[in-house]
Amino acid sequence: MTQDELKRAVAQAAISKVESAIADGEIIGIGTGSTANFFIDLLADYKNDIRGTVASSEASAERLKSHGIEVLELNNAGTLGVYVDGADESNHHLELIKGGGAALTREKIAAAASKEFICIADESKLVDRLGAFPLPIEVIPMARSLVGREVVKLGGNPVYREGVVTDNGNVIIDVYDFMIDVPRKTEETLNNIPGVVTNGLFALRPADVLLLGTPDGVKEMT
Ligand code: 5RP
């Protein structure tokens, strides 16, 4: 199977998992990225049944709207029944690295606002130890150099993601050469640097369910 076929398979499995939430009139949180896009496209079949969605990026909001699916502001939506999103890495505790698509802050907000976080990914994303994928940090532009220096003190190699401005008007620093042994602690430490909006570790609020696409079928981890 190709990577896209694996992504589509996990998106389909996620649809089965959210059907009851849709039927119950819950608001569905929608992630960002190529795997989330498969989920959005499959969700189009339910557009007349869904009470509403909250998107974690302008790109996902546009895709949802192009299918005729209602997109709400989180401030008007209350608690989300379920949030479905991809990841760049997951460990076996369902702690994640996210933000490859620069949407990490809104993704973290949507996950925090959700009763359940279902992560969808192909099997290449499952790792024993987080950090081979460079860890994204969203930073207020004037703090870029300060945050970079602090990251170096912590042992990381910060690289400014050229030409990228987030939906919130900020910049992204990707941290290379930074293997993460205690994700919750690292998430807190990085978030305490002045100028950091948030970092791409989802350990304080990990996924509740990981649907992993493998050639032998979709595996569910909890
Ligand atoms: C975007 C993200 C994505 O979920 C992550 O980058 C995975 O993307 P893809 O499904 O395209 O592999 O965190 O900010």
- CB atoms under 10 Å from CB of 200, counted, come to 30
Q: What is the pLDDT of residue 50?
A: 96
| Whether residue 107 lies in the annotated active site | yes
* Ligand 1 nearest atom to the CA of residue 35, by list position: 10
> Are 212 and 122 a contacting pair, CB within 8 Å?
yes
**pLDDT under 70: residue ranges of the chain:** none
**Residue 196 in 3-state DSSP?**
strand
The whole-number pLDDT of residue 96 equals 98
pTM for the whole thing? 0.95
Any ligand 1 atom below 6 A from CB of 195: no
- 3-class state of residue 197 by DSSP: strand
Answer left, alpha or beta for residue 131, where phi above 0 means left and psi between -120 and 50 means alpha: left
Residues 185-218: tens digit of each pLDDT: 999 999 999 999 999 999 999 999 999 999 999 9
Dump the DSSP string for 76-118: HH-SBSEEEE--SEE-TT--EE--TTS-HHHHHHHHHTBS-EE
Say what the pLDDT of residue 15 is. Answer: 97
Residue whose structure tokens are 């199977």 = 1
Look at residue 114 in the predicted model and tell me its pLDDT: 98
Binding residues for substrate: 32-35, 85-88, 98-101, 125
Please indicate whether residue 10, judged by its CB atom, sits closer than 6 Å to ligand 1. no
Token pair, residue 154, equals 């912590």
The CA 212 to ligand 1 mean position distance, Å, reads 14
DSSP letters, 64-80, are HHHTT--B--HHHH-SB
What ipTM describes this predicted complex? 0.98
Q: Report the run of H or E that residue 176 belongs to, with start and end.
A: strand 171-176
Sign of the CA dihedral running 34, 39, 41, 42: positive
By most ligand atoms within 8 Å of CB, the mutation choice from 7, 30, 88 for ligand 1 is 88
As given in the structure block, the two tokens for residue 77 are 């939506």
